[in-house]
Amino acid sequence: MTRKVMIVDDESLIAMDLKFMLEDNGYEVVAQANNGESAIELAFTHNPQLILMDIKMPKLDGLKASKIIEQQLGIPVLFISAFSEKELLLYMKQDNILGYVMKPFSDRNVLPALEVAFHQIDKFNRLNGELLHKQTELEKRKIIERAKGLLMQSENLSENEAYKKIRNESMQTQQEMVLIARRIINSLQVNS
């Protein structure tokens, strides 16, 4: 899978060197910007998976641009900077900042930083997917429980009997239990 990266640096030689380095190593550079305002526009247009961004830039600096990008798009950022480690730590408290690479850079410090950043992105996406799946399952469970409660009340069934009724209809019609539960809720609410 091609990894899509955007480069944001006001020094065109640095941006060009980064672009060639990344492309030579299998990354796709989807856009380049030379200031924070352009970075925001291009992030919306190209939706990269990761942004390599300088901090000090004209018009809108990298920190402010990365905050806007985080709020609007949630795209992670890996800073490239000539700042010292101590100064950089002040900027690292945003959720979308995955780290930084010090200038002057080489493949020995950029490529490992990119690999770690993409590993974190993949991990986040996987965990987010699992969380969404669990939330969906919880919502389904709530609907089934509600239908079960309505059946217990309207047909004077035990909890186990109500559950079996939903399950049996699900098996007979070959539909998910949640669909049967929704139908039960709709019919019993209309009749009440």
pLDDT in tens, 42-96: 999 999 999 999 888 888 888 888 888 888 888 888 888 776 555 556 656 555 5
Tokens 């992105």 appear where?
A: 121
Lowest mean pLDDT among 16-30, 88-102, 107-121: 88-102
* Distance from C-alpha of 96 to C-alpha of 76, rounded to nearest angstrom: 4
To the nearest 10°, report the CA torsion of 168, 171, 172, 177.
Answer: 80
pLDDT score at 116? 84
State whether residue 71 is helix, strand or coil: helix
How large is the average pLDDT for residues 133-158?
91
The dihedrals phi and psi of 101, each to the nearest 5 degrees, come to: -125, 130
Summarised one tens digit per residue, pLDDT across range 46-55 is 999 999 998 8
Lowest mean pLDDT among 122-136, 152-166, 171-185: 122-136
- CA neighbor of 117 nearest in space, from 48, 67, 33: 48
Q: How confident is the model at residue 150 (pLDDT cuts 50, 70, 90)?
A: very high
**And the tokens for 151?**
């059946």
Which amino acid, 131? L
